[in-house]
Amino acid sequence: MNMARTSRFLAWLVLAASVAGCATTQQAVKPPSAIEGRYVRVELQDGTSYPVEKVDRLYLRVAWLLGIKRLNGESRPTVVVTTPDAIRQLYQVNGAGHYLNGTMPLAGYVDGKILAWGYDAPRLARMLAYHLAFQYLKADASEAERLAARVEDRITWETMNPFSSF
């Protein structure tokens, strides 16, 4: 009888230890914090702040430049703020990206998500243009690239204006 109690106690002890181990493992993996804008969702991987209101305004500007009149809430873009190394690794697998001097990734568009490591309006506008071209205009990759380059050039020109809101 004593042996049965001891084995039950040990079984409960092992079960409690494994549950506690799973709980600490879950706490160690920190999910990214997300900020919901009106049109764009931003996931912060490193806990820094990001100007969501500016991204919303930029998204509307890019949509206007592409001639998109109505934006439905179904295909809201997600901007993932992460490191250049993470962008490089994901871009090499699949996606469209923009590099500085061909070595350091500035932004990327992978699997419907926009990857960025800082707020840079022209580069982010280019990635937003990819999203809009694929989701709303149903463009192929070469057409999306052409539209994204045109939008980036326009936003670059607009950001040189000292009165620009971007």
Written as tens digits, the pLDDT of the chain (166 aa) is 555 555 555 445 444 555 444 444 443 344 568 888 899 999 887 667 788 899 999 999 999 999 998 887 677 899 888 877 777 776 664 445 555 545 555 677 777 888 888 888 898 999 999 999 999 999 998 999 999 999 999 999 988 877 766 5
Measured CA to CA, the distance from residue 155 to residue 166 in angstroms comes to 8
What is the predicted pLDDT for the residue at 94?
47
What is the predicted pLDDT for the residue at 165?
64
What is the predicted pLDDT for the residue at 70?
84
Measured CA to CA, the distance from residue 36 to residue 41 in angstroms comes to 5
What is the predicted pLDDT for the residue at 59?
93
What is the predicted pLDDT for the residue at 151?
95
Report which of 93, 68, 52, 64 is spatially closest to residue 108, judged by C-alpha positions: 93
Q: Where are the domains of the chain?
A: 1-30, 33-159
For tokens 């109690």, the residue is: 5
Q: Which class does domain 33-159 fall in?
A: alpha beta
DSSP string for residues in 129-159 = HHHHHHHTS---HHHHHHHHHHHHHHHHHHH
